[in-house]
A and B are shown apart, each in its own frame.
Chain A
Amino acid sequence: MSATVQAGPATPAGPASGLSSRRPLGDRGFQVLALVSGLLVLVILVLIAITMSQQSTTWFTSEGWSGIFSIDWDPAHGKFGAMAFLYGTVIVSVIAIVIAYPVSQGVALLLTEVVPRRWAAPIVSVIDLLAVVPSVVWGLWGILILVPWLQAHIYGHVASAVNNIWILGNLFGFLNHNYVSGASFFTAGLILAIMITPIVTSLSREVMATVPTTDKEGAYALGATRWEMIRGAVWPHSQTGIIGATLLGLGRAMGETIAVALVVGASPTISSHLFTPGYTMPSVIALQFGEATVGVFRAALIGMGVLLFLLTIIVNLSARAIIGRHARRMGGAA
């Protein structure tokens, strides 16, 4: 150990290793407590990842890499391929983002640019009410009301209208024999969109509120219309923040379990037709874990939990990194 230089007496903003004996006992105790709490969270996360991976090794060893990512999920015949669920999770989340992004951007712009400040707070409360509704209530409303209504009144008409159009027919057309299902990729994506709109809206709104008024007034002074001002002053400034907010919404959409499990249709197939049933990783874990026999079936479900865990961690970490980079660059926003 090299000779250490004693830190100045009780500098509040000193480095972490400045747990100098000069500091009062309460301060030191608090710092140790905070350190322990932080480390505990990290350790718990790491341990979860390790124990879950341990329990899923049977899946990797018995299926191999090609087996794990195969399309075939057939427990009756010992086939446990996860590709259909990966596809379902991604598709449903993408649909959710595609629907939620324009809506949330519109609401955020409404709140920051259009609506008088007096009305902004009540509207924000209403939007946040959407976030308060429990996920299982969305699922119940979905399966009891939305699914039958969509199947009877919407999907059939849309599918027959676009069935023969080039790309739209593949996405929204009939699979075969006039078959559309209310419980499908699209319905799940729709419900997810409603669920993630509050998060994306409020984060976007906060980012947009940090646009300096001078920039906006400057744009007006140059003769820009409101739309041109938004395009020229608000969006460039808040782009990275909005991307971060969207990624956070995406992370939430990927992990959503019970609402999606009830309305996605529980059919492990890969299909471009969005009005047909599908399956997602959280849904299959929730629906099939109870009866899964100990062995490769259980290991496969736990392994899919690990995959989902990794996926959502990656999405959330990149979201936070992007938002953080934006905050530093724009000087303490969001």
Chain B
Amino acid sequence: MHLRGRRQVTTAGLAVFAVALAACSSSSSSTTSSTSTSTASSSATASSTPSGSGTINAAGSSFQNTYQLAAIAAFKSVDPSITVNYDSVGSGTGRADLYANTVLFAGSDSPIPAAEASKVPSGKTVLYFPVLIGPITLSYNLSGVTNLKLNADVIAKIFQGEITTWNNSAIAAINPGVSLPSTAITIAVRSDSSGTTQNFSLYLEKAAPSVWKLGSSSTIKWPSTAHAGAQNTGVASIIKSTPGAIGYVDYTDAKASGLSYASVENSAGDYVSPTPAGASADAAGATIASDLTFAAADAGTSADSYPVSYQTWDLVYAQQPNANDVAMLKSYLGYLLGAGQKLLPTLYYAPLPSSLDQQAIAQLSKITS
């Protein structure tokens, strides 16, 4: 009969609607602190051994990805009961995952911006654990020129499109005795958002404040003549294949691509080549806040500091719902800050200055359940 048929259609429709509603309401994670079930799901429950056991899920900055991969592999022999997964999705998404409680710690190249402060659940504080420092090179492709020197003003003008040829008087003035060709300058930049861009622009903001107008962000509105590549490797390949190109590339990728890079003038007036030691010296001059945030860019005052350097942190909530998570975090983060720092030079990163490292290790005790 029609009546019974209509009822069956209605039942089917209601069933679908109910399923959809249920899925909807449970996924709308409120910004208030989540329940312990969602955190427990990110780490397997296990027996309460002192170092904890289970899985740590982490995500964030691609800058520290190489270090995380090496540390995860080495950590297996240190503590086989803990498995760590690090997903290199970018600092912004990593922090968003931390707010949503889908990861235990997030890698981020910058502290939580003011716009995101409201996303941290009330009652939770975020702890910053710096893990490494690294230089950003100004790599270039100019045949016949091997020891290019640059300073912040000139770099700012180049990347704003105000200096367009290599034999410009501003560049010639700081490179006496070097014959610069009249080739046009092609600037190579990142097409994707990146912590590297953020910290490179931060350096220009701090070191050339009267010249640099494009601001500091993970995405910059470059001049329309800029050539954009994805990831550091994309920028590196643009520089390699374009005569007269200059761009900003992580030290690791510049070495891997065999690029030439410039020496940059630091605040002491010396022209320093990018090296891990120079980056560490730069970070040593930074003012460390009480929550261990700082900006390494142009912070160094010593003669050997390389000013275009940056840092990255692992962000963790101080208040953890269960003791196993606390034990696992202390174990793995302790490794990153301790024995793991020895891996950094082989990966072309710079280890933390020792005083900063000690402060970070001391901060581990603030993670409690």
Q: Which residues of A contact B (CB under 8 A)?
A: 1, 4-7, 16-21, 28, 32, 35-36, 39-40, 43-44, 47, 51, 73-77, 143, 148, 175, 177, 179, 181, 183, 261-262, 265-269, 271, 276-277, 287-298
Contact = CB atoms under 8 A, between A and B. Distances in A.
Contact of A262 (B12, B15, B217, B230): B230
B9 A293 contact: no
A266 B228 contact: yes
Contacts of A271: 224
Nearest to B196: A291
Contact of B20 (A16, A47, A294, A295): A47
Nearest to A276: B224
Given A177-B184, A291-B195, A295-B116, A4 B92 contact: no
B221 A74 contact: yes
Contact of A1 (B3, B16, B20, B193): B3
Contacts of A51: 24
A318 to B, nearest CB: 28
B228 A294 contact: no
Interface residues of B, number: 54
A43 B16 contact: yes
B216 A76 contact: yes
A276 to B, nearest CB: 7
9 contacts: A75-B219, A277-B224, A287-B193, A288-B218, A290-B92, A291-B90, A291-B195, A294-B96, A294-B119
Contact of A76 (B91, B95, B219): B219
Given A7-B2, A20-B1, A288-B219, A293 B224 contact: no
A39 B12 CA distance: 9
A291 B24 contact: no
B166 interface: no
A51 to B, nearest CB: 8
A231 B251 CA distance: 63
A292 B193 contact: yes
Contacts of B89: 290
B51 interface: no
B183 to A, nearest CB: 13
Contact of A266 (B8, B115, B191): B191
Top 7 closest pairs, chain A to chain B, by CB: A290-B90, A76-B215, A266-B191, A291-B193, A76-B217, A19-B5, A295-B115
Contacts of B91: 290-291
Which of the listed residues B24, B62, B219 has the most CB atoms from chain A within 10 Å of its own CB?
A: B219
A298 to B, nearest CB: 7
Given A19-B4, A76-B220, A294 B116 contact: yes
Given A4-B3, A267-B226, A291-B195, A39 B90 contact: no
Given A76-B201, A76-B215, A261-B230, A21 B4 contact: yes
B100 to A, nearest CB: 10
Contacts of A297: 92
B5 A20 contact: yes
Contacts of B6: 17
A136 B192 CA distance: 16
A179 B91 CA distance: 34
Contacts of B164: 177
Contacts of A21: 1, 4
Contacts of A73: 221
A179 B226 CA distance: 11
B290 interface: no
A242 B113 CA distance: 52
Given A1-B3, A287-B191, A293 B116 contact: yes
Nearest to A179: B225
B216 to A, nearest CB: 6
